[in-house]
Amino acid sequence: MPILVMKFGGTSVATIDRIQRAAKRVALEVAKGYDVIVIVSAMAGKTNELVGWVNETSPLYDAREYDAVVSSGENVTAGLMALRLQEMEVPARSWQGWQVPVQTTSAHGSARIEAIPPENILKKFAEGMKVAVVAGFQGVSPEGRITTLGRGGSDTTAVAFAAAFDAERCDIFTDVDGVYTTDPRICDKARKLDRIAFEEMLELASLGAKVLQTRSVELAMRYKVKLRVLSSFEEPSDDAGTLVCDEEDIVESNVISGIAHSRDEAKMTLISVADRPGIAAAIFGPLAEAGVNVDMIVQNISEDGRTDMTFSCPTDQVLRAQTALNAAREVGSINFHDLDCDNGVAKVSAVGIGMRSHTGVAAKMFKVLADEGINIKVITTSEIKISVLIDRKYMELAVQALHDAFGLDKAA
């Protein structure tokens, strides 16, 4: 039998009624002759609640116990989905990560999948099971401990299963009916894309778009997984959603495909650091060891041989960054006058493969922001994206202005 992977996000399984609706979609695919692997997230809001409990109990928590707590939400959803399918007389069984097993690294909180042996599930399919409901976001380390893949990790689980089982397709069901040019909740002119290149989706996901997790897009691109993003609340159809595909499969597109934003950003500046070889490694080494995800980096060199080093990171990692840098200063590996933290910033990015062949995108972006009176604090670029750090209070204005300026409400 051909295998289909279907992933349901938190809003798609937020209540018993929504789980039942999702189960009906699964049953439709079973009726078409598929063996189905269903990947489920925790019910909407549950993971945030569990993370909150962990932070309340232990702000500098043991990552192994963090994984033990926050992975439990997916287990509940998997069991409920399997029970619903059984009530519909569809042979189904729930699977936790360790039962498959989803073999991962030992990097708790951000583990990477190393292998998914298909034998256990394929054996059950051969015995008559039609649906394997797998708890997403989780796996098992070489030491036998539960691991999690990072927020949004159920997307990565789904694509990894599609690759491991050579699935015909991987459908990602969410609360939106596809990938949009920007967040429709911010810009009412946002337009759904019929297709988007893997590279563009990868940039959008890494820059704050919540539709897909970054690593899931990386996996899909690497293994050529047919990936479709669609809504669990719309009626099934062959042309629903957005297809994430190779650049060659897109006939023509706008210069810019989307505007992404990330609200939960912080800007940290080490003031008056010695300007010497190895200083960057001395700063960012401890941050990496502390699990701080550094993004934008800017270094300003002054005349007296000192430098200011600025970087951005998620707001929920500021405490870890401060702790790591102060500890490095205490042991003498780095020396700085002060550590300034600005928690009131946001990142706004323009993304498009058309930047490779079109000039003037950066100039246009900066002029649009200037015309709106928005000051740019930090700038970074790549071949197909431009990102700026601005005051958070201007984020929605920036997104709307850039979306209009680049004509993203109109198809190419």
Residue 150, marked binder:
no
- pLDDT tops 80 at residue 203: yes
Range 177-183 average pLDDT: 89
Mean pLDDT highest for which of 66-75, 212-221, 356-365? 66-75
Q: Is 112 part of a structural domain of the chain?
A: yes
The reply to whether 159 falls in a domain is yes
**Is 125 part of a structural domain of the chain?**
yes
pTM score, two decimals? 0.76
| Contact in structure between 335 and 279 (CB atoms under 8 Å) | no
323 annotated binding-site participant: no
Identify whether 363 is part of a domain: no
23 lies in some domain: yes
Mean pLDDT of the residues in the chain? 92
Ligand-binding annotation for 210, yes or no, is: yes
In-domain check, residue 286: no
Cα–Cα distance, 180 to 192 (Å, whole number): 4
pLDDT at position 18: 96
The answer on whether 173 is annotated among ligand-binding residues is no
Q: What is the distance between the alpha carbons of residues 362 and 176, in angstroms, rounded to a whole number? A: 30
- 175 marked among binding-site residues: yes
**Is 139 annotated in some ligand binding site?**
no
149, part of any domain: yes
**Residues above pLDDT 70, as percent of the chain:** 98
**Taking residues 143-156, what's their average pLDDT?**
92
The reply, when asked if residue 392 is annotated as ligand binding, is: no
Give residue 29's pLDDT band: very low, low, confident or very high (50, 70, 90). very high
Identify the H or E element spanning 164: helix 153-164
Is the confidence at residue 123, as pLDDT, over 70?
yes
Q: Is 366 annotated as a binding residue?
A: no
Q: Does the annotation flag 180 for ligand binding?
A: yes
Q: Structural domain of residue 132, as residue ranges?
A: 3-175
85: domain CATH number is 3.40.1160.10
Residue 95 backbone zone (phi > 0: left; psi -120 to 50: alpha; other: beta): beta
Positions of E strands within 124-257: 131-135, 138-140, 146-148, 169-174, 195-197, 227-231, 242-245
Does the pLDDT of residue 182 top 80, yes or no? yes
CA 127/CA 120 separation, integer angstroms: 11
pLDDT at 392 over 90: yes
Taking the CB of residue 276, how many other CB atoms lie within 10 A of it? 10
Tokens of residue 374, six digits: 């928005």
Find the mean pLDDT for residues 212-241: 85
pLDDT digits (tens, 9 = 90+) for 249-288: 776 677 899 999 999 899 999 999 888 888 899 999 999 9
Q: Is 47 annotated as a binding residue?
A: yes
69 is in an annotated binding site: no
Q: Is residue 349 situated within a structural domain?
A: no
- 174 is annotated as contributing to ligand binding: yes
Domains held by the chain: number: 1
